[in-house]
Structure 1
Amino acid sequence: MKNTRVAVDVGGTFTDICVMDEHTGRISIEKTSSTVDPIEGILNAVDKSKVDLNQVSLFSHGTTVATNALITRRLPRTAMICTEGFRDVIEIRRANKEDLWDIYKDVAPPHVKRRDRLCVAERIDAQGKVVTALDVEQAKQVARTLRRREVKAVAICFMNAYMNPQHEQEMRDILRAEMPDVAISLSSEVMPEIFEHERFSTTVINAACSPVVVDYTKRLGQELKHRGYESDLLLLHSGGGVMTTEAVEHFSARLAGSGIAAGAIASRHIAMLCGFRNSIGLDMGGTSTDVSLAYDGQSRITNDWFIEFGYPIRFASIEVLTIGAGGGSLAWQDEAGSLRNGPQSAGANPGPACYGNGNMQPTNTDANVVLGRLGTRLAGGQVTLNASLAHEAVKQGVAEPFKLELHDAAQAIIDVANANMADAVRLLSISRGYDPRDFALVSFGGAGALHGVAIAQELSIPAVIVPPNPGVASALGCLLVNIQHDFAESYIKQASEVDIAELEAAFQRLEAEAISHLSHEGVQEENMVLERTIDMMYQGQWRSLAIPTPRPVKTLDSLIEIFHQEHEREYNYRRMDAPVSVFRLNLKAVGLVAQAELPRHEPTGVIPTPASHREVWFSKFGACHTPVYERTDLPAGFTLQGPAVIEQLDSTVVVPPQCRADIDNYLNIIIRF
């Protein structure tokens, strides 16, 4: 019997691998340097972990390939075919700007140049009726033109195709006859909903990513198969599930949020193990911090996200807020003389000043070294930190310009970084109608456990959870997911006018499609879970809320009441006198995969001895003679009082004075104050 699961998360600096023995629940981790070709880094991690792929039952992977391709614009030549008069929809966008007050900052250009946005005569009205038939001869000429231009991907985006896909399908068949190997995305299949810019943008991005992602997943799958892996390679997608390489061919843009979703999944799962159904994830790495939120055991889902502003991707995604705050974020002085922190970063090379690679501008890592919270070794000794260089950088960059004592300067750097991250948590909690005092904070990533308690104290969050392997929590998240697809159908009516039989028939169509997809991927019917939601809004609004919906639907009255309640929680008001409209029907189709079970540990009664002591500076307390523990020495059931520092391969945990840290049965550290 194959009894091993493997998950790999590729980051900008390190590639993390998490290997679990299904029989014992034992998890082993390794970190290797990321490579230019991510596949090389993945295979290096497999080799370093000494895992036998012949014994692997599941290999899941969180990837940044699609994200990086979109950010760097290293995309194949892509064309767009649209209805006459609509070729500029993706360039006009919503005519908005990321920074309302900066008139000089332009939005990035569309992913398809105007000369490659070709038009054909056709028209379908808003009810799905054919007004003007597709001009077949013109369509054939467009196909021949694109073949001569050697485009690699085509997005077909016709007006009102979400109501009737007939013309898009005819155009696809014409293209296939002329260009059998080109990647084609139809807006009626990718995103069948109203709002043409969002639909066109998602379809274009899906088409542009397809050749890149499909090539990557096929090459990785072949390499793993060559080494003995026999099952499907599973790719984590933005919605918090995994999909097979075959599904990637149709919905490649779903991988654009793959990397950040893994951390959100892991933080929710770990919080649930610790008994917290409400949790906030704080994933702080070297360059950025990702903040996520789970309420009542469910991650917040959004359809309003993007990699580049102005070009939305409307696939359902776990809502994650990313800011430029990481271990390598630079401290600097603005024109008004104020101390700032990030979003500029020293990156992996040259890195913080203490790396000794030439950078002398202070970073958060340097400040933590000066304060004694970090020692002189990272990543199990793979990285050596030069404390004297950190002291010099903080002295020259902050202490002298602001006339501060060295440790006060380092604390100021950390305080600004913590304030930035606390603001990000407020945006995702308080501004969404959630009280942080009702949540636990899960701090992970390479730097999260250094800052988590200070942020929790700022926001009155009562508990901070640090998982056993905080630096590779995203890789762990890849082990905790099921196969998942999301389907949707536009359904625009006032709630009072909805025909329940018609609504139920529409849901059944979606369910039939979902069952077909899952069955094709080898999921047995007893392992299929279908979850319905209806997007509702007050009449005249254009933002909607997804309301969980029973199977079968018998009445909308109870759903409308839930909508009023959710609207008040989200926006702080309800309008009982306003008519409610139905906007869209959604179906989440889940194929259950046997879940990874983390091992439980019983208390041993052993009281560990600190590995060493060092002076650590804390705000309000000054220098404290602080014990330093090895994480592997801390048994379940052990409690320690701050101040304390806990070191391990992938992170460092700081327990400030007047805080208590408990080690639970899963070896999570739960810090309270």
Structure 2
Amino acid sequence: MGSLRVAIDIGGTFTDVCALDEVSGRMHVAKTPTTPDPIDGFMTGLSEAGVQLRDIALLSHGTTVATNALITRRLPRVAMICTRGFRDVIEIRRANKEDLWDAYKDVARPYIPRRDRLPISERIDAAGVVVTKLDQAEALELARILRKRQVAAVAVCFMNAFMNGAHERAMRDILLRELPGVPISISSEVLPEIFEHERFSTTVVNAVLSPVAGAYVERLSDRLRAGGYASDLLLLHSGGGVMTPSSVRDFAARIAGSGIAAGAIASRHIAGLCGFANSIGLDMGGTSCDVSLAYEGQSRVTKDWGIEFGYPIRFPSIEVLTIGAGGGSLARIEDGALKNGPQSAGAHPGPACYGGGNTVPTNTDANIVLGRLGTGLAGGSIKLDAKLAEQAVRTGVADQLGVSVHQAAEAVIRVANANMADAVRLISISRGYDPRDFALVAFGGAGALHGAALARELSIPVVIVPTNPGITSALGCLLVDLQHDFAESYLKPAEATDPADLQHRFATLEATAAERLLHEGVATTDMVMQRSVDMMYQGQWRSLSVTVPPQISTMEALVASFHQQHEREYNFRRDDAPVSLFRLNLKATGLVPKVALATSEPGGAMPQPASRRPVYFDNATPHDTPVYWRPDLPAGAEIDGPAIIDQLDATTVLPPGASMTVDRFGNLVMRVGS
């Protein structure tokens, strides 16, 4: 067994590799283009990082394979078997629309067409009592039809199966016998919760992704074993943990949000290293910007998410808000107003300064005009044409608004920052959190360019720029544990709930969780069980999750916690209103040994600037600004703005009036002032 822990995050444009030596704590990174077959880019990234598979002790992987499959609809033929009369639940949805006022915009079609949604005679009532038994002959006939259609997977979704899953299990047994090798997803195991649309939708997504994710994981595992890797491949899932390949085959929908979770995990960890339990992650790349929030060391988790509107995936997911704001976001004048994004120049043709033929200005072009970004990326391997950038900004914005090219470029950046500030407000202020109590972790290829200005707009006092901003998401894959989430519907008023009954039900969930973790090789001493219960005021249907202690003696403490959390979330509480329980939740974690990142003791001579250049900061007069090469900055180095810090994968802007310190982990910690 080797001493390297390796994380690989495959995005739409680049594949990022982060290799951490368990002995020295030193990190090696690599960035390579994502290939049509992601596995080829995966192996190329390992090679470029100088990593041999036999030297890897643990390999974690974040992937967009499942996400892209849903977006592009490159899915195998999958069938759904449902209770007669409920064939169209996933098409009726909630009868709502993404854009309320657009009468012509339709919701995307269901993942399983109507011809492959087959009804069967069975019925269980809302109390879990069998009303109509499952028709065995009809079940066998449906299995024959599906075998003839050569479906790749089947979703079984029966009404009220969340109360009694006996009929679904019986249907699965028949299908497994008649369709050997075909994965079967049943709603009573995938998501045992009330609300049929959400339960059916999650089960359908799980079914359509099972063949896709299963085949991908199997091919990748075979390549890794052939190269000498002996341990399990761990795949990041939306909830902020990792899964083994066997779990991915059963719960494939969990990796639909794999790609965006890694950055949120890494930003939370880096903020913790710098002494901040409250942090906001800003992952700004070339096309989009992902915003996440951690409070008291814990990321916000949501169950209200999905890849496409109308088709929810109700597995717990780290809450990440994504907007179209990146280095390649296009700026243009519409109806006399300056707009920025969400359209992007992408990697091809890219910003105007790339010389690929695009003439519409982007955020990257504006930053070049302002001098904040130099004329080279990736250590100079990518040359940027400042004249093309200036021409695009002048033609696309300055001439139309009647302002100078520098004023136009500043306006482009201000609009981009305003868009990102709105996203931060949505995930913080609208959730009851004050941004002034948080540190901003700015990463991605463009996050450090905008971090200080964005923090000032939101009155955030501190900005943290990680050591390698461009591969921070890959680092997040190294910082997670094995994690599974279990849930059980529990519809009762709090005053009628017996604490002993809750204790028994949680113990049952914990036994199931422990069995799964033991199957994945986790020792009992490395298991952590975290209980919570979803509660609501009677008459509501939206609930809040309240932490449950290991021993439940009375219900009063849980009800008091609910009132307190409701006040923080919605700014009011009703202590005299009755409270109901909605669902029991269990997060089961199998701890993976963590490796400490390498540190450096403060000291060393402050280097001279690598160069100087004029940079514009919020006014018409440029500042003569020093440019430092980040690898030359020692731990403990202190710099007063204005300054530019260049490195291989990012550029950091330190504006006038701000100061910066390099901490012992190599992070840049900026105090930006008001």
> TM-score category by the smaller chain?
over 0.9
Amino acid at match of 1:321: L
Residue 270 of structure 2 is matched in structure 1 by 270
304-313 or 94-103, larger mean C-alpha shift: 94-103
Q: Does 1:402 align with 2:431?
A: no
Give 1:70-89 correspondences, 5 Å limit. 70-89=70-89
Q: Does 1:295 align with 2:289?
A: no
Q: Does 1:607 align with 2:640?
A: no
How far apart are the structure 2 equivalents of 1:236 and 1:384? 35
Residue 222 of structure 1 is matched in structure 2 by 222
SS at 1:79's partner residue?
strand
Residue 316 of structure 1 is matched in structure 2 by 316
Amino acid at match of 1:274: C
Deviation at 1:253, TM superposition (A): 0.6
How far apart are the structure 1 equivalents of 2:415 and 2:304? 29
Q: TM-score normalised to the size of structure 1?
A: 0.99
Residue 242 of structure 1 is matched in structure 2 by 242
How far apart are the structure 2 equivalents of 1:632 and 1:222? 38
How far apart are the structure 1 equivalents of 2:88 and 2:376? 54
321-330 or 384-393, larger mean C-alpha shift: 384-393
How far apart are the structure 1 equivalents of 2:332 and 2:166? 57
How far apart are the structure 1 equivalents of 2:287 and 2:623? 29
Give 1:493-508 correspondences, 5 Å limit. 493-508=492-507
Residue 556 of structure 1 is matched in structure 2 by 555
Deviation at 1:164, TM superposition (A): 0.8
Contact 2:14 2:32 in 1 (8 A): yes
SS at 1:156's partner residue?
strand
How far apart are the structure 1 equivalents of 2:346 and 2:591? 38
Residue 370 of structure 1 is matched in structure 2 by 369
Give 1:82-231 correspondences, 5 Å limit. 82-231=82-231
Contact 2:407 2:620 in 1 (8 A): no
Structure 2 unaligned blocks of 5 or more: none
Residue 10 of structure 2 is matched in structure 1 by 10
How far apart are the structure 2 equivalents of 1:184 and 1:376? 54
How far apart are the structure 2 equivalents of 1:665 and 1:519? 38
Deviation at 1:180, TM superposition (A): 0.8
Residue-by-residue CA offset, 1:418-473 (whole Å, 9 max, x unaligned): 00000000000000000000000000000000001111000000100000001100
What root-mean-square deviation, in Å, do the aligned CA atoms of Structure 1 and Structure 2 show? Answer: 0.8
Residue-by-residue CA offset, 1:182-204 (whole Å, 9 max, x unaligned): 12100011000000000000000
How far apart are the structure 1 equivalents of 2:405 and 2:379? 28
Deviation at 1:14, TM superposition (A): 1.2
How far apart are the structure 2 equivalents of 1:236 and 1:142? 36
Residue 46 of structure 1 is matched in structure 2 by 46
170-179 or 623-632, larger mean C-alpha shift: 170-179
How far apart are the structure 1 equivalents of 2:513 and 2:303? 19
Residue 485 of structure 1 is matched in structure 2 by 484
Deviation at 1:53, TM superposition (A): 1.4
Deviation at 1:499, TM superposition (A): 1.5
Residue 670 of structure 1 is matched in structure 2 by 669
How far apart are the structure 2 equivalents of 1:285 and 1:562? 39
How far apart are the structure 2 equivalents of 1:399 and 1:621? 14
Deviation at 1:181, TM superposition (A): 1.8
How far apart are the structure 1 equivalents of 2:502 and 2:14? 48
Amino acid at match of 1:12: G
How far apart are the structure 1 equivalents of 2:598 and 2:587? 30
Residue-by-residue CA offset, 1:297-337 (whole Å, 9 max, x unaligned): 00000011010000000000000000000001100222x21
How far apart are the structure 2 equivalents of 1:223 and 1:553? 48
Deviation at 1:380, TM superposition (A): 2.3
Structure 1 unaligned blocks of 5 or more: none
Deviation at 1:151, TM superposition (A): 1.2
Deviation at 1:621, TM superposition (A): 6.3
How far apart are the structure 2 equivalents of 1:195 and 1:210? 23
594-603 or 81-90, larger mean C-alpha shift: 594-603
Amino acid at match of 1:203: T
Residue-by-residue CA offset, 1:229-256 (whole Å, 9 max, x unaligned): 1000000000000000000011101101
Amino acid at match of 1:44: T
How far apart are the structure 2 equivalents of 1:500 and 1:670? 47
How far apart are the structure 2 equivalents of 1:514 and 1:595? 22
Give 1:648-659 correspondences, 5 Å limit. 648-659=647-658
Contact 2:406 2:620 in 1 (8 A): no
Deviation at 1:111, TM superposition (A): 0.5
Deviation at 1:224, TM superposition (A): 1.1
Deviation at 1:168, TM superposition (A): 0.5
Deviation at 1:620, TM superposition (A): 3.1
Amino acid at match of 1:272: G
How far apart are the structure 1 equivalents of 2:42 and 2:111? 29
How far apart are the structure 2 equivalents of 1:109 and 1:643? 52
How far apart are the structure 2 equivalents of 1:122 and 1:290? 44
Deviation at 1:669, TM superposition (A): 0.5
Deviation at 1:382, TM superposition (A): 3.1
Contact 2:534 2:584 in 1 (8 A): yes
SS at 1:446's partner residue?
helix
SS at 1:81's partner residue?
strand
Residue-by-residue CA offset, 1:518-572 (whole Å, 9 max, x unaligned): 0000000000000000111100111111111011222111111111000000001
Deviation at 1:603, TM superposition (A): 0.9
Residue 392 of structure 2 is matched in structure 1 by 393
SS at 1:626's partner residue?
strand
How far apart are the structure 1 equivalents of 2:185 and 2:354? 46
Residue 468 of structure 1 is matched in structure 2 by 467
SS at 1:107's partner residue?
coil
How far apart are the structure 2 equivalents of 1:401 and 1:18? 45
Amino acid at match of 1:393: A
The number of equivalent residue pairs is 672
Residue-by-residue CA offset, 1:326-362 (whole Å, 9 max, x unaligned): 001100222x211100000111111111111111111
How far apart are the structure 2 equivalents of 1:37 and 1:411? 40
Deviation at 1:226, TM superposition (A): 1.0
Runs of 4+ in 1 over 4 A off after TM superposition: none
56-65 or 500-509, larger mean C-alpha shift: 500-509
How far apart are the structure 2 equivalents of 1:115 and 1:527? 47
Contact 2:644 2:652 in 1 (8 A): yes
Contact 2:184 2:207 in 1 (8 A): yes
How far apart are the structure 1 equivalents of 2:385 and 2:217? 40
47-56 or 84-93, larger mean C-alpha shift: 47-56
Deviation at 1:489, TM superposition (A): 0.4
Contact 2:183 2:210 in 1 (8 A): yes
